[in-house]
Structures are given as C-alpha cells and as structure tokens.
Amino acid sequence: MKPFAYARPADVAEAVRDVAAEPTAVFLGGGTNLVDHLKLGIVRPDLVVDVRTLTSRSIDDLQDGGLRVGAAVTNSELAADRRVRERYPVLAQALLAGATGQLRNLATTGGNPLQRTRCVYFQDASTACNKREPGTGCSAVGGYTRYHAVLGVPAALPDPTAPETCIATHPSDMAVALAALDAQVQVLGPAGARTVPFVDLHRLPGEDPSRDTVLEHGELITAIDLPPLPAGARSAYRKVRDRASYAFALVSVAAVASGNGDVRLALGGVAHKPWRATRAEGVLRGGPLTEDTVRAAMAAELAAAQPQPGVDSGNGFKIPLVTRTVVATLRDLEA
Amino acid sequence: MTDLLEPRAIGRDLVRRDGVAKVRGTATYAYETPVERPAYAHPVQATVARGRVTAMDTATAEGLDGVLAVLTPSTAERLASTEDREFAVLQSDEVAFRGQLIGAVVAETSELARQAADSIRVTYAEQSHDTELSADRDDLYAPGKVNAGHETDTSEGDVAAAMASADVTIEQTYTTAMYHNNPLEPHSTTALWDPAGDGHLTLWDSTQGVHPDRAAVCEVFGLAQEQVRVICPYVGGGFGSKGTPHAHVMLAAMAARALPGRPVKLALTRQQMFFLAGYRTPTIQRMQLAADRDGRLSAVAIDVVVQTSRIKEFAEQAGVPARMMYAAPNRRSTHRVAALDVPVPSWMRAPGECPGMFGPEVALDELAEELGIDPIELRIRNEPEVDPDTGKPWSSRHLVECLREGAERFGWADRPPARHRDGNWLVGTGVAASVYPTMRQARSTANLRYEDGRYVAEIGAADLGTGAWTVLPQITADALGVDVADVDVRIGDTEYPIASVAGGSSGTNTWGSALVVAARAFREKFGGSPSDGDEVAGDVDQAAQDEDHAAYAFGAQFVEARVHADTGEIRVPRLLGVFAAGRIVNPRTARSQFVGGMTMGLSMALHENSVWDPQVGQVANHDLAEYHVTVNADVGDVQAHWLDEHDPFVNAMGSKGIGEIGIVGTAAAVVNAVHRATGVRVRHLPVTLDKLLPGL
C-alpha cells in the first residue's frame, strides 16, 4: 500500500473541492471495497477524503410519495427501513442478498453503487487489465469468465490485447434493484449539483473501460431518490449464486410488475452495468404475462448476448440461466 | 493384540483445555508472539510462470526510511542444502512457477515492508510456460512411489478380460478439482537469530509438527538440532498444509539471519497462500468396474493422473483406496504424474483417500443404477473377507454396520423416488462409503514427571484445533490410573521430547502410544506413590506394532440434495455420517472432527475449486471472496454418529484416527444424491448449477 494523506473535511462542499483539486484523490464511504483496493495496490491515491459523516444518514419522505435516501445510510439501515420493506421489497431483498451482515453495516447508499468489478484480473495488480491500467489488455478474455459479461460486449470474441476490451460485470445487487426502480441519483460536483437517472449512472466500457460511471472526478453522490411505484405494484429480487450466502451473483433479476404487462426488469451479473432489460419490457408491455411471453421477451433481450469462452467452460450458461431466473421471479411475483 | 486401556477418562466429552484461552484471545499464535522490537518481512513473488530473473531494481525499496534489509537471489545467503528445491529460496535466478519467492523486504512495520516489496521492479527473461494437466499428455511418468510410500501401480488378475466378459461394466472418467487448504490462521512465522556462539535460531511457527519443522530447517541451513528451537502451542488450522514447512519458513529464517538479534515476523497474505502453502492436485480418475447381474464385482480398476511441480515431486496416492475397498478378483491401479510449471502440491486432509474415493464411489452408484440394485446392498455384496490388497485379515471392519445404521438413522428405506419434486425443488438422496487407514508413526517420545503432586507429561505434539491438548491428558490419566484433573500434558515445543507430525490421522495413535509406554514405565519404576521429581521417558513401542492385520477406519455418508428446478441451485439440507473408527477418546472433540470433515467434503462437492488459468499460469480466484468455501447458509443438519468399535490390534487406546475420514466419500454422496434428484450425473467436481441446467 502506498502512503496517502487522509482528510476529514467539514462539509460536502469542502470534500468535493478537496477531491477535485487532487487528480488521484478518492472519496471514502464505508470502505468495504476501497480499503481492499488500497491494500492490493489497485488504487494508489495520494489523498483519501472521508465523507462518511458528511452526507445525510436519514431516509426522508418526498412529496411525490417517494423516498430520499441519504448517501451515508448504511445498507443495513436501508434494508431494515419499514417504508423500504413495504414499498420497495425489491430493494430490501437486493440489499440483504449482498455481502454479509458485517459488510452491510458499513457499506453506504452512496458507496455501494460505486463498488468496482470483482473481476479476478482487475483485482490482481500483477495481471493485465484495461480497467485498472488502461492499455495493458484484458486477461479475462479466454480466462476465468464465470462472473463476466454476456451483454453489452462485442458480437465477436473480444481482442484481449485491444485497449478497449473489458468483459467485467458490475457486482452490486442494490444497483440492480435501483435500476429497476428508476431511481434518481443526486450528485454534487465542482460545477454544482445535478440529478442523474440511475439507469444512466453506470456505463458500458466503450472506448474507456477504466470508467465505471458517468460521474466526473470530484462528483459525490449525496442521496438517491426512489420514485413512488404505481399502485398495486409488486416487486422482487432474485439472486442466483454459487453458494447460499456471501457470493456475488452469477445472474440476478430485479422485477417490478404493475399489472397489464407493465413490467420493469433489471439484470445483474450479465453486463458492465446493471442491465435494464428494456427490450424484454417492450415485448411484454400491454400483453399477458405467461411463461411463453416471458421467454419470448427474454429471447429478444438476449438476442445480442455473447457467451465468453474460458476455463471451466466459460459463461455461456448465463444465457439460459438468466431467462430461467426471470421466468421464476415473475412467476413468484404473479402467484 | 494389545491390552486396551480401561477407559475412565477416555470416552468422556471433556471440554477443550485450550478453549478458554482461545475464546478470550489469550492463546498466542505464531505471528502474535510477544517479542522485543520485531521487524516485518514481506515476500516478493515472481509474476511470470517460467523464466529467469535478469534484474531487480531495489533502489526505491532501499531508499525508504525504515527498510532494514532487502533480500534477492543475488544478495541472499547461500543455503547449506538446496536438494529440496521448494526450500531453496533465493538460491538461483530461475523462476519455476508464478508466485515463487524471488525476494523479500524486512522493515520496521509490516505496511512498510509490503510497500517496499511492491516497489521492487523485476525484469525477467520469460519463457513459455506449460501448466495444463491432461490425461493425454505424452510426458506423463510413473513416479518411483506415491505419497505415504505406496506402490505406484498394482495389478492382479486380468481386468481387460473381466471387462470383456462381464454382464455389466462401467467405464467412466471422473475428475476432482485443485483445492487449497485455506486454514483460518495464515501460514506465519516469527524468527529470531541469536548470533552468539555457533548461533541459535528460534522459530515460532504455525506448524503441525515442531520436530519435523526443525529437521527441515536444520537440513536447509546446515544447523545442528540443538541450534534450532521451534515453538508452536496453538495452530489455527492446517488441514495438512502445515504438515511440512513451506518456502516462507526458510525465507523468515533467512530474514532473521540478515538481522541478527532482532525477531522477524512473516505472515503470508491469503492471496500468497494460493501460491506458497501447498494444495491438493487436481486428479483425473479413469474407472472401470465389471460385475455380474447380481452386482458381484469381477474387476475394479482405477488409472489416476495427477500433477506436481517441476521442482519437487508430490504424487498424490488417489488410486490407493480402490485397492482395498471392495472384493474383486481382477484389480488394477496406476498413478501417472505430469510435472508442470506450477506451485508445489502437498498434503490436504486425507491425501489419496479424499479424491480417490470420489471416482470409485460414484462409479459404484452408476453400477447400482445400471443393475437396479440398491447402492447400499451393492456395497454389502462386495464386502471383502480380508484386505484384497494385502490378503491380511482386517483388524476390524464395520463398513456394513455403518451403512445399515446410517440407513436406519437417515430413513433410507423411505427415501423418495428418483426425480422427486417438492414444489420447485427436485429432491434426491445419495450414499457413499468412506475409509481411512489407521496409522501410527514409528517415533515419538513422552517424558512423564511427578511434580508438585501432579503428573506432567511433555511431548512435542501439535494441536491444530483437533483436541490434542485435551485428549492426551485423558489417555495419560487412564494409563496412570489417576484422575484426568491431576494430569498436565505440555506440547508444541522442541524442548519437549520428539514427536511425529500431526498428519495421517496418526497423532493421537502415536503420541498416545508413547504416553502409555511412559505411564506404564512410570508405575513400574515408582509404583503408586511417587516422589516429587520422579521421571521417566517412554517411546512408541514399534516392536509391539501389529503388522498382521489391515487396519482402517470405515464410514458411510448419507446426503439429501435439493436442486431448484428453474435455476439449478443446489442445497444440501441433510448430511449424515456413521463411522467405525475404533474407540473414541473424546466425543466432543471427535464430533468436531467428523462434522468438520463432512462439511469440508460438502465444500469440495459444491464449492471449492481453485480455478487454474493456463494463460496467466496461476489460480485465478486466489482469495476467499472468489474461492468459495461452504458457508453457514449452505450447511443444514450435519450429523456424525459412530459405532462402539473394539479393535485390539491398533494400539493401547484402541483408537483409529478421526481427523480425515469425515471428508472422504462426502463428495461422492452429494453427486449421487444430485443424480437421484435430477437424473444428471456429474463426474467432474464441483457440482455447480451450470452442469445441471442442460438436464433440467
């Protein structure tokens, strides 16, 4: 670990100024991901700005019937909130499906969506990784791809030596639920405050896999707003993983169903970002929700899916698995 | 025949003597040893899988304030012996596997040592590496012997002829994955070199045997036994990976010699343990079974392929248990090894038996299905009268009783039909047998003294969480005929008499035997009313070792598996084992061993898998977030039961060793249960949902 300066400014404005002024500076929230990365040499900041006590740690009712969740609210607190459990079960379930009790007690609302990929090559500073060290290539191609993307990747097998190649997935469960809920992200940056739709927060690798989100350097998440759901909406989160707890998703599904084929679906474990399944939603809209229509909708969504070969048979299994998981989730939701 | 001790303390579920200290956190482990002014070492590891180190730029590291020493292949001391190439640390510029030790930094703090180590820039002349195990390689070789001194190949009768003429045959290839031991306490050492006189090295090392540890260090550094003391009162798990020292122990000792008079602490990180602390080789097992319509086996053959490192041979004996498990006139077993550019494999809980009972016990299940015979009945029909491998009678063998009692307790007779569905879950049950040889090491000595009205025994034994602190006083008390509360046993220090490794489930058998000899000699010499300071030593009586019987512990494992019909997720709500392992010295610590072994077997069945990346040349998932070990949520009702088995041939305690048998057979039972639930036969561990989905 490289030594760094640690700052605990008086307020969020000062925190933003501090980080904006130092190109390698990072914000510290719960630290459940960043501290690991500091130890592993994956990030080497000169300045760590602790914002844990600066942003709101309360969950407030909004006038439109939604909720505003302060960035410092822990994952445990958010999952336990009665309003969240009653109105947004998909979010409470996603939170409780993530990590462990100890980690959820530390992890924050602002920090969780900004956790970085669990790609084993990203996490090993001795291997090539375009996300960690732009231009070095991608060790995951043809390697251990079980936790890697099948959506939002090139149609052909990616070139491991190309600087834009990255087949990593975003690991957050909470983020998948927030994508399905059409949450809004309140951001404060050097240029002032702005609101970013959650579905636009994360990005695909594009030309620059090192950037996970659209946030600019120095921008800080201060709160996340949950809009009200239509009356009678039901929601659920289903996570499929290799062991029953304390594992990242192979695939996951966040579903919100409001009747009349109005279904919102977000998929986890399949792409560089929480994947809002807009094609499938379009196919289902206005029609009956049956196993056949769901399968057809998922076939449309997954038409461009590209399995990544690799050791231990690669990750092609995710394509049938995610369809099966969506079918099971919607079946349980309708039951 | 041995006169078994009259059990008074033996058989009681006494609480762990070390439990309070461990719960309070006052039990000191190797890295925590309180020492004056410790320095900290952090290793530098190779980042290529094969080649040579051509340059190491250590200027930045050496320039950091607080860095005390930088060790590289060009500056490190020359070792007295480099014969064991795993231990020949920093003795050449050759890189034989990725992650190999190529340097170290010693500094005032562990953080600084790590930072300085990270700053060292290494230049390599890289060569292409070869790390892929396959049964089709043209360079597989037959080792001289396999682990534990077993014959490499055995053959009796004519397997090919039996296969050709049998009513039914099974011919399949099964594989087990690479596994890493991953004890909770990482491998760690505190080393102190006192340069006075001829020099003296003290090692507080996390080890399964202070004396074997010392012997290895003495050999490598050319030191006399008196010059080295190894101390290890507590071990936070080892599972075999601390049964021999690994390269980091030599590195810690080298670092200490570079800083005479200052203790140096070195703990491997969890990630480093995936390169440097041993592992279980992946195995490829080609099985052949031939049987008549009644299920009587006419042939059993297993051809095993394993890997080792190019720098050191460790040939896991995975073909060995099939030699003796069931009766069949025609039998064959072979072992072939691939020497690769990979880290050095070593012992992991039940080497040989653990992977080696996977293929055979799944193959038997396949045969039972083919024949339409209950898998328990099939095993009973092939119960051998004597050891098929040696022809010796069994010292005791109660496999059939384990199967029957297990079936009764598990409710086997009422088990649901194949592909039974309960809501969205497919339900199946499975069974497999387990076995582990009963071993006693040739050499261990106990010293027994009467001191302040108490009996004090000293022996350099190790308690790696198994219960030695607790069970050795029980044995000693019964051998002396006194209350166990009046006995202290001191272990974990080479200042005490020599003791064998805590390995091969032989610890209690071996150290207990020495304690019994010492206790009997003590009574003979001093009678029932000793005086303060009366003292005798006792050695394991090797002459009394029974050689006329085949001695094994046996068991039967039962599993209920549930597979989600949509997603293929696998849950194991019930795991039940029944074991015949001789006399159980302490039911409390024994149950922990059985249940722990079975849970580790469940972990092997469903989760554990060191995923090898041949492109990079290393384990891809080298931390505990990505290398999955079964967690609490995966473990349901785990029950361990045992028979009251009397075996007069094994040793004075009548004990057979229980640390390893629990893991044996579990994975096969899980696979068999998953097959019953889904109809999908998984022959390659671990059983994961992607392997089931095409069949659901």
Query: CA B201, CA A267: separation in Å to the nearest integer?
Result: 58
Report the residue from A126, A243, A312 with minimal CB separation from B607: A243
Percent of chain B topping pLDDT 70? 100
Same domain, A226 and A252: yes
Chain B residues closer than 8 Å to A3 by CB: 115
Final residue before a domain boundary, out of A31, A49, A67: A49
Give the count of domains, chain B.
Answer: 3
Give the per-residue pLDDT at B543: 84
Q: Which residue from A254, A211, A252, A30 is spatially nearest to A117, judged by alpha carbons?
A: A211
Give the per-residue pLDDT at B301: 98
Residue A188 lies in a domain: yes
Residue A313 to chain B, least CA–CA distance (Å): 9
Same domain, A11 and A75: no
Q: Residue B116 belongs to a domain with what CATH number? A: 3.30.365.10
Same domain, A147 and A292: yes
Same domain, B436 and B446: no
* Residue showing tokens 């196919």: A283
Q: What are phi and psi of B232, to 5 degrees?
A: -160, 85
Given a cut of 80, is residue B337 above it in pLDDT?
yes
Give the per-residue pLDDT at A259: 79
Given a cut of 70, is residue B45 above it in pLDDT?
yes
Query: What is the secondary structure of B617-636 as a DSSP string?
Result: TEESS-STTTS----GGGEE
Q: How confident is the model at residue A155 (pLDDT cuts 50, 70, 90)?
A: confident
H or E stretch covering B472: helix B468-480
CB contact under 8 A, B628 and A247: yes
Q: Would you call A318 helix, strand, or coil by DSSP?
A: helix
Given a cut of 80, is residue B504 above it in pLDDT?
yes
Same domain, B110 and B216: yes
Residue A140 lies in a domain: yes
Chain B residues closer than 8 Å to A146 by CB: 611
* Residue showing tokens 């069974």: B431
Same domain, A134 and A212: yes
In chain B, what is the straight-line distance between the N-terminal and C-terminal CA atoms, in Å? 55
Q: Tell me if A28 sits within 8 A of A107, measured CB to CB.
A: no
Strand order in the sheet with A275-276: A234-240, A251-257, A263-268, A275-276
Same domain, B80 and B215: yes
The token duo for B560 is 């209920």
Question: pLDDT: is A287 or B156 the higher one?
Answer: B156
Give the per-residue pLDDT at A260: 76
Q: Tell me if B154 sits within 8 A of B323, measured CB to CB.
A: yes
The token duo for B57 is 């730029």
Same domain, B620 and B486: no
Residue B630 lies in a domain: yes
Query: CA A165, CA A141: separation in Å to the nearest integer?
Result: 9
Final residue before a domain boundary, out of A29, A49, A69: A49
Q: What are phi and psi of B658, to 5 degrees?
A: -135, 0
Residue B307 lies in a domain: no
Final residue before a domain boundary, out of B485, B516, B544: B544
Same domain, B582 and B656: yes
H or E stretch covering B499: none
Same domain, A90 and A204: yes
Residue A136 lies in a domain: yes
Mean pLDDT of A194-222: 98
A242 close to B (CB below 8 A): yes
Condensed to tens digits (0 to 9), the pLDDT of residues A309-334 reads 999 999 999 999 999 999 999 999 98
A139 close to B (CB below 8 A): yes
Chain A residues closer than 8 Å to B620 by CB: 120-121, 143-144, 311
Same domain, A206 and A154: yes
Residues with Cβ within 8 Å of B179's Cβ and at least 6 positions away in sequence, in order, are B279, B280, B348, B604, B608, B609, B610
The C-alpha torsion from A71 through A77 and A78 to A82, rounded to 10°, is: -140
Same domain, B68 and B111: yes
Report the residue from A142, A144, A328 with minimal CB separation from B567: A328
Given a cut of 80, is residue B472 above it in pLDDT?
yes
Q: Which residue from B321, B238, B582, B643 is spatially nearest to B440, judged by alpha carbons?
A: B582
Strand order in the sheet with B200-205: B67-71, B101-107, B39-45, B264-267, B188-194, B200-205, B228-231
Mean pLDDT of B527-552: 95
Same domain, A79 and A106: yes
Q: At how many degrees (to 10) do helices B468-480 and B507-526 cross?
A: 30
Same domain, B584 and B691: yes
Query: CA A74, CA B566: separation in Å to the nearest integer?
Result: 33
H or E stretch covering B22: helix B19-24
Q: Range of A104's domain?
A: 59-335
Question: pLDDT: is B543 or B630 the higher one?
Answer: B630
Same domain, B423 and B478: no
Query: CA B220, CA B87: separation in Å to the nearest integer?
Result: 7
Given a cut of 90, is residue A1 above it in pLDDT?
no
Q: How confident is the model at residue A187 (pLDDT cuts 50, 70, 90)?
A: very high
Residues 145-164, chain A, touching B (beta carbon < 8 A): 146-147
Condensed to tens digits (0 to 9), the pLDDT of residues B578-620 reads 999 999 999 999 999 999 999 999 999 999 999 999 999 999 9
Question: What is the CA A69 to chain-centroid distance, rounded?
Answer: 16
CB contact under 8 A, A143 and B616: yes
Query: CA B316, CA B147: separation in Å to the nearest integer?
Result: 5
Q: Would you call B523 helix, strand, or coil by DSSP?
A: helix
Q: How confident is the model at residue A335 (pLDDT cuts 50, 70, 90)?
A: confident
Same domain, B685 and B562: yes
Question: What is the CA B395 to chain-centroid distance, rounded?
Answer: 24
The token duo for B252 is 């810690």
The token duo for B93 is 């510029």
Report the residue from B609, B631, B690 with minimal CB separation from A245: B631
Paired strand residues for B537: B447
Q: What are phi and psi of B459, to 5 degrees?
A: -160, 140
Residue A189 to chain B, least CA–CA distance (Å): 32
Residues with Cβ within 8 Å of B255's Cβ and at least 6 positions away in sequence, in order, are B39, B41, B69, B71, B104, B106, B191, B264, B266
Final residue before a domain boundary, out of B492, B509, B544: B544
Same domain, A69 and A39: no
Same domain, A33 and A163: no
CB contact under 8 A, A139 and B623: no
Q: Which residue from B202, B37, B41, B205 is spatially nearest to B117, judged by alpha carbons?
A: B41
Condensed to tens digits (0 to 9), the pLDDT of residues B242-296 reads 999 999 999 999 999 999 999 999 999 999 999 999 999 999 999 999 999 999 9
Same domain, B619 and B690: yes
Paired strand residues for B553: B436
Mean pLDDT of B334-340: 98
Q: Which residue from B118, B124, B144, B134 is spatially nearest to B53, judged by alpha carbons?
A: B124
Query: For A138, which DSSP code?
Result: B
Same domain, B625 and B536: no
- Alpha helices, DSSP H only, in chain A? 12-21, 34-40, 75-80, 82-87, 89-97, 101-106, 174-180, 198-201, 278-284, 291-301, 318-334
* Residue showing tokens 């579920």: B13
Give the per-residue pLDDT at A334: 83
Q: Tell me if A28 sits within 8 A of A70, measured CB to CB.
A: no
**Planar angle of CA B212, B216, B218, nearest 5 degrees:** 115
Residue B96 lies in a domain: yes
- Alpha helices, DSSP H only, in B500-557? 507-526
Asked, as a colleague might, if the bond just before B375 is cis with ω within 30 of 0, I would say: no
Give the per-residue pLDDT at B1: 61
Q: Residue A240 belongs to a domain with what CATH number? A: 3.30.465.10
The predicted complex's ipTM stands at 0.97
Given a cut of 90, is residue A261 above it in pLDDT?
no
Q: How confident is the model at residue B192 (pLDDT cuts 50, 70, 90)?
A: very high
The token duo for A99 is 């990590």
Q: Tell me if B11 sits within 8 A of B585, measured CB to CB.
A: yes
Residue A54 lies in a domain: no
Residues with Cβ within 8 Å of A86's Cβ and at least 6 positions away in sequence, in order, are none
* Residue showing tokens 């251990």: A144
Residue B356 lies in a domain: no
Give the per-residue pLDDT at B636: 96
Residue A255 to chain B, least CA–CA distance (Å): 16
Give the per-residue pLDDT at B2: 66
Residue B156 lies in a domain: no
Query: CA B451, CA B181: separation in Å to the nearest integer?
Result: 40
Q: What are phi and psi of B290, to 5 degrees?
A: -125, 140
Query: For B684, which DSSP code?
Result: B
Report, as residue numbers or ranges, the catalytic residues of B: 660
Same domain, A45 and A104: no
Chain B residues closer than 8 Å to A247 by CB: 628
Spell out which chain B residues touch chain A, with contact meaning CB-CB distance below 8 angstroms.
45, 47, 111, 114-115, 118, 271, 424, 564, 566-569, 571, 606-607, 609, 611-616, 620-623, 625-626, 628, 630-634, 688-690, 693
Residue A99 lies in a domain: yes
Question: What is the CA B633 to chain-centroid distance, rounded?
Answer: 25
Count CB atoms within 10 A of the CB of residue B254.
25
Residue B592 lies in a domain: yes
Same domain, B610 and B684: yes
Residue B655 lies in a domain: yes
Q: Range of B209's domain?
A: 33-127+182-276
Same domain, A99 and A246: yes
Same domain, A326 and A177: yes
Percent of chain B topping pLDDT 90? 99
Average pLDDT, chain B: 97
Query: CA A186, CA A72: separation in Å to the nearest integer?
Result: 13
Chain B residues closer than 8 Å to A143 by CB: 613, 615-616, 620
Final residue before a domain boundary, out of B276, B309, B330: B276
Condensed to tens digits (0 to 9), the pLDDT of residues B148-169 reads 999 999 999 999 999 999 999 9
In chain A, what is the straight-line distance between the N-terminal and C-terminal CA atoms, in Å? 52
Residue B141 lies in a domain: no
Average pLDDT, chain A: 97
Query: CA A165, CA A143: separation in Å to the nearest integer?
Result: 13
Question: How many residues are given for chain B?
Answer: 696
Give the count of domains, chain A.
Answer: 2
